Each structure stands twice: as structure tokens, then as C-alpha cells.
Amino acid sequence: MRKDAYALERLAGLKAQKNLTMWLIPGNHDRIHPIFGLDSVVEWTPAYREVFDLIALELQVRIGRWQVLFTHIPRATGKDAVPDPHQTPQLARWAGREGFECTVHGHTHSSVPVRRKHVNLSLEATDMKPVSPGKREELVTQAVRFRG
């Protein structure tokens, strides 16, 4: 069994067990991302849709009073860029952009959950636990108000 199929199977079990609503902002580890090509997206979309309630390359939403961009890869340039040891020119085209009060991402695999204008929801930052809507809003508010 491919790692992707195994991971989806495990996530489906977790979702059912915990009665979760699951969002996916796919990135460079997800076979549904266009970086892998159209054939991969077509092949994997049905399996991902069985698990995730929402799948989007990016998502612009209001959380509390903040305008937020969900993207897999954080902002790579500008004053609020996030250091990203995994960044490559191929991945840079998928990075977050300016114009939002906060960017929510996971690509860096950092254990640091909040930086100025950024929330990191990678497994390393969330201790491999789901993040509730209330906690998500709390983290976004911290990031918007961050002065460090």
C-alpha cells in the first residue's frame, strides 16, 4: 500500500472516531496538489474527497475580525516572510502572499506555532492534534497582535 493511501486510511479512521470536520490545504506531500501534475490530481481526488470535507489550494476566510489566508506554504518574501528551510523555486509559486492580516500554513514543519502575521498548523506545531475553531481563532489573534 502506498504511503498516501495508508495516510488517508488512517485519517479516515481518526475522523470517524473523533467525529471531526477535516480541511486540507494540500501541499508538496499531497498527491492531489497540482505540483504532481494533472494525472495525479485526477487519480487521487476521489480518495481525498472521501476523507476531507473541504479541499482547497488556498482559502480566504474571516476568522473573528481578521482576514486570513490559509495556504500550505507561508509567505516567502516581504517583511513578514517566514524562514523556510524547505523552500525551492518550484514551491515558491505556491507560497502565501501579502494582503491578509494573517496567513495560516503548515509547510515549514516548525514547532513554533505563532509568528508575526503567521500561524503554523503543521503536525509539529500542534503536537499531532486537531485544532478546534476556537483555538484557531485564538492563534490567529495572537499572530495579528504579535510584537516579537
Distance CA 141, CA 66 (A): 8
Structural domain boundaries in the chain: 1-56, 58-148
CA angle 22, 28, 30 (to 5 degrees): 45
Largest CA distance in the chain: 46
pLDDT, tens digit (0-9, with 9 covering 90-100), for 18-58:
999 999 999 988 999 999 999 999 999 999 999 999 999 99
pLDDT, tens digit (0-9, with 9 covering 90-100), for 64-78:
999 999 999 887 777
Predicted TM-score (pTM) of this structure:
0.85
